[in-house]
Homo-oligomer: A and B are copies of this chain.
Amino acid sequence: MRTKLDKNILWHLPLILAVFLQLWPIIFMASTSFKDMNQIFTSTLNPLPFPPTLNNYVAVLEDFPFWTYVYNTFLIATLVTVCKIATSVLAAFAFVYYEFKGKETIFNFMLLTFFIPITVLIMPNYLLMSKLGLLNTPWGVILPQIADGMGIFLMRQTIRGIPKPLLEAALLEGAGAIGILTKVVLPLIKPSAIAVTIFFFIHSWNEYFWPLLVLQDKENYTLPLALQMFISAEGGSEWGIAMAVAMLTSVLPLLLYLFCQKYILSTFLQSGVKG
């Protein structure tokens, strides 16, 4: 609507409220991480650090096995992401390209899992990993995550967005299923596949609950678990350091998001491929 806009402030209230509630934790985190102990105690809700200090970051990098956690997190996130994107694309292509009985039913049933509490889902997987002897190893974290319903769903949507005549043209030119997948489908869904890959990576990087159950030894911890150690030791004197860890934990996801914003947004927008 490129039309006149009443300057009615009432309309902006929910907007401002929503934006504030979304942004407040980030601002708080960033500012606290640059505050020293005194500032935190004297003015907890004051958003600005005077003067800003890097002490918290120095403490984190010196007194804390930060890079071990980064390595653990990165290993798990990378492997999970590679597996998930591969299975998502292949399964999605099979869902779109082949006709088989009960296709829609299987697909819809698969979406069920989005709506079940994570706490419910975790128990059976925990049991399975325990039987397989994978508790307290990165593999125990990775194995139940090599396929992802949301990923299949998003990739199926994207593949369905490819105009059918493109696939039919390839078919008429004599291409088989593998040819169509590699020469037509993959190049066309690349932006969305990249977006979903990033999404998977960030999600896995940030994951807290499942690694917490599987990983018991501190040296195997991922960053979100390590971060939680500070919160549990709810002492106040650790707040600044905790927020510095939080900042460092968030840096990679945020950078990935900022650089790949375009891909991510357009995937969510289902803009798909235009012939």
Contact = CB atoms under 8 A, between A and B. Distances in A.
Interface of A: 1-3, 5-6, 8, 11-15, 17-19, 21-26, 28-29, 32, 44-45, 86-88, 90-91, 93-100, 106, 108-125, 127-128, 131, 144, 146-149, 152-153, 157, 164, 167-168, 171, 176-177, 202, 205-206, 208-209, 223-224, 227-228, 231, 242-243, 246, 249-250, 253-254, 256-257, 261, 265, 268-270
Contacts of A14: 86-87, 90-91, 94, 147
14 contacts: A1-B96, A2-B99, A8-B177, A11-B94, A18-B148, A18-B149, A24-B125, A25-B121, A29-B120, A45-B128, A115-B206, A116-B250, A117-B208, A117-B227
Nearest to A12: B94
Contact of A25 (B45, B120, B157): B120
Contact of A5 (B22, B87, B98): B98
Nearest to A234: B126
**Which secondary structure characterizes the binding site on chain A?**
helix
A175 to B, nearest CB: 12
B177 A117 contact: no
Contacts of A171: 1, 3
A241 to B, nearest CB: 12
Contacts of A124: 24-25, 28-29, 32
A217 B144 CA distance: 33
Contacts of A97: 1, 5, 11
A120 B11 contact: no
A249 to B, nearest CB: 6
Contacts of A116: 25-26, 206, 250, 253-254
B153 A268 contact: yes
A14 B119 CA distance: 26
B253 A131 contact: no
A147 B1 contact: no
B29 A254 contact: no
Contacts of A18: 87-88, 91, 110, 147-149, 152
Given A94-B14, A149-B18, A117 B209 contact: no
A6 to B, nearest CB: 6
Nearest to A109: B23
B177 A11 contact: yes
